[in-house]
Amino acid sequence: MSGRLGSVGEFCWLDLKTRDVEGTSAFLSRTLGWEFTAGRLGERPMTLISTGGHRIGGVSDLANPVYPPGISPHVAYYLAVDDVGACAKEAIADGATMVVEPCDVGEQGRLATLVDPVGAAFSLWQPKEFRGWTFPPGTPAAPARMVLACAEPGRAREFYERMLGAPFTSAVFTEADEPEPRWEAAVAVAGEHGPAARVVTPEAIGFPVAVQQRRGDDRRMPAAPRSPSRHERA
């Protein structure tokens, strides 16, 4: 992989959205060794996720009134771009569906959320004060690459590379066994589970980790839903 996660044109952040922040944090801490601490992202209170001393994501509580009732727990993944508006316009012209129109998130950055032509949700992030993750390659339990499992991996790759105007070097596109197209983050772990082991979260957390190890110690994390709510915000 020649691209660097966190660079413009690559994924830069993940946000676990759940109704059980405590349970989600405890489970993933036990399973992946992630550290969860109360903190802030700009002016916004948030539970922050770290591994190896580097921030890799946050946890959002779906009980917060900003989220309408009925949003399913999921993971949102953010793709760093120079211009959210221009990328969103290119994506729509190429068959994507807008879910959250481009909007500012305080002084942190600008975002939009879309569903791509093969049905996988993704968010665009135009950095201002907040640039996302900056961990070095090989950081334990950090995202190592992104994987899109879908029925038409070739079509999906062409869509993202046209939108970005460059090869999408940190992404792997693979044919899905599951019916729902989805982005996943592969994280490198030294777990005791076998190469094909699955780890499933408790029902209360809502989304499955249902994660399969790959190449011995790459474990894939849960994905964003196919069609997130139009009211969802970062």
Domain count, the chain: 1
Residue 103 has pLDDT above 90, yes or no: yes
In the numeric block, the tokens 């599951």 are attached to 178
Instruction: Give me the chain's average pLDDT, please.
Output: 80
In the numeric block, the tokens 């592969």 are attached to 186
Residue 178 has pLDDT above 80, yes or no: no
- Domain CATH code at residue 68: 3.10.180.10
In a domain, 226, yes or no: no
pLDDT in tens, 150-164: 999 999 999 999 999
Contact indicator for 146, 185 with CB cutoff of 8 Å: yes
Higher pLDDT, 201 or 91: 91
Residue 165, Ramachandran bin (φ over 0: left; ψ between -120 and 50: alpha; else beta) = left
- Domain span at residue 168 reads 11-132+139-220
In a domain, 196, yes or no: yes
Mean pLDDT of 97-104: 94
Contact indicator for 142, 187 with CB cutoff of 8 Å: yes
Mean pLDDT of 42-68: 87
Residues with Cβ within 8 Å of 111's Cβ and at least 6 positions away in sequence, in order, are: 78, 84, 100, 102, 103, 105, 123, 124, 125, 126, 233, 234
Higher pLDDT, 224 or 25: 25
